[in-house]
Structure 1
Amino acid sequence: MTEFKGSDTERNLIKAFTDEAVDYFKYSLYSILARYEGQDYIGRVFEETANNEKEHAKIWFKWLNEGNYPRTLKNLQDAVELENDAVTTDYPEFAKKAREEGFEHIAGLFDSIAEIEKAHLEKFKKLKDALEQEKTIPDNGTTYLWECSACGAIIEQEIRPDYCPLCKHEDTFFFKKNPQ
């Protein structure tokens, strides 16, 4: 039998997982858009299909992890690595290329999202460190940050924002947070 790591089967599982995860997101978005246009039945079909795709992705994800879901500490380490790549490599390179090609607005969006990813990175690092040390993270802030539930943007102000300045959502929930 061929070694699983590096095999075509592993590559196919990675592609299947990635494709199903992307389809889940797209169909979920299509569902919202269809309902917004008054197409409730089509929205339900997209939602049902999205949920099927999510379950398919979970199957492939489990197989990519030796038939089990990874433990939280491993998931936090993975999240730290993913967010670090986004912050240190991906988004800076994306922004640079967009600027070179004259897409300054898109470059600015890449820069803005990179800042959100940086906040994600710090959050995951703290959680990972706390879990490794079997500690809980204290809530010690006094001024509020608001996290957009749609895109994750962090807005610092005293009261709940009326809309997100990054994604422009008005009908979104903002999580009240204490600063890190």
Structure 2
Amino acid sequence: MENKKTLENLMAAFAGESQANRKYLAYAKKAEAEGKTNAAKLFRAAADAETLHAHKHFEVAGKIKSTAENLEDAVGGETYEYKSMYPEFLKAAEEEGHQEAIRTFTYALKAEEVHARLYEEALANLDSTEEVFYYLCPVCGNIEKAVPEKCFICGVPGEKFIKY
């Protein structure tokens, strides 16, 4: 794409819409917990709308490639997170004694390492026709290919995992 400013704007819009999606889902969860179902539904609808916007911006920016290229990109992103980003974040949280941040960064770091490995496996087996199921820990974000007895990262019981 030769329009550098437009590409920058598409990527900025993608980032903003993506963040709005996650923020609105968090707001919906809080509204539900407070019994505010109408607000929760509005937040969820708006989150889905923001996702539509983000996907279109990303597509128009030319960032969606072949599945193999997308898997390679995902491996790179997850690897950066567990090798560089989260260790730096953890260090700062430890220096400041922020226990909740230490826990959430530790969970994410360990889960991102698993994600990178799973993306590598998916890339290596890209042409396999055997169906694979994935199971998500709803507490720490760990992903397994079979339901564990308990999450090795946060200890949540396996029956709480979400099947994909």
Tell me the TM-score normalized by structure 1.
0.73
> Paired residue for 1:65?
62
What code does the residue aligned with 1:117 have? Answer: E
Q: CA offset at residue 165 of structure 1?
A: 7.5
- Could you give the per-residue CA deviations for residues 7-56 of structure 1, whole angstroms, max 9, x where no partner exists? 22211111100110110111122122212211111111111111111111
Tell me, yes or no, if the aligned pair for 2:10 and 2:61 is still in contact at 8 Å: yes
What code does the residue aligned with 1:82 have? Answer: G
Instruction: Write the distance in 1 (CA, Å) between the matches of 2:131 and 2:35.
Output: 45
Gaps of 5+ in 1: 140-145
SS at match of 1:42: helix
Q: 1:97 to 1:8 in 2, by over 3 A?
A: same
Tell me the TM-score normalized by structure 2.
0.79
> Paired residue for 2:161?
174
Identity %: 29
What code does the residue aligned with 2:140 have? Answer: C
Q: 1:70 to 1:165 in 2, by over 3 A?
A: closer
What code does the residue aligned with 2:2 have? Answer: E
> Paired residue for 1:103?
98
> Paired residue for 1:143?
none
> Paired residue for 2:27?
30
Alignment of 1:75-90 (within 5 A): 75-90=70-85
- Could you give the per-residue CA deviations for residues 52-80 of structure 1, whole angstroms, max 9, x where no partner exists? 111111110111117xx432112111110
Alignment of 1:123-162 (within 5 A): 123-131=118-126, 134-135=127-128, 147-153=136-142, 159=149, 161=150
Instruction: Write the distance in 2 (CA, Å) between the matches of 1:51 and 1:125.
Output: 29
Count of residue pairs the alignment pairs up: 161
What code does the residue aligned with 1:174 have? Answer: F
Q: CA offset at residue 149 of structure 1?
A: 3.5
1:3 and 2:41 matched: no
Gaps of 5+ in 2: none
SS at match of 1:96: helix
Q: 1:136 to 1:114 in 2, by over 3 A?
A: farther
Instruction: Say which of 69, 79, 85 aligns to 1:74.
Output: 69
Q: 1:103 to 1:35 in 2, by over 3 A?
A: closer
Instruction: Write the distance in 1 (CA, Å) between the matches of 2:6 and 2:160.
Output: 41
> Paired residue for 2:12?
15
Higher helix share: 2
Q: What is the RMSD of the two structures over their aligned residues, measured on CA atoms?
A: 3.5
Looking at CA atoms only, which structure, 1 or 2, has the larger radius of gyration?
1
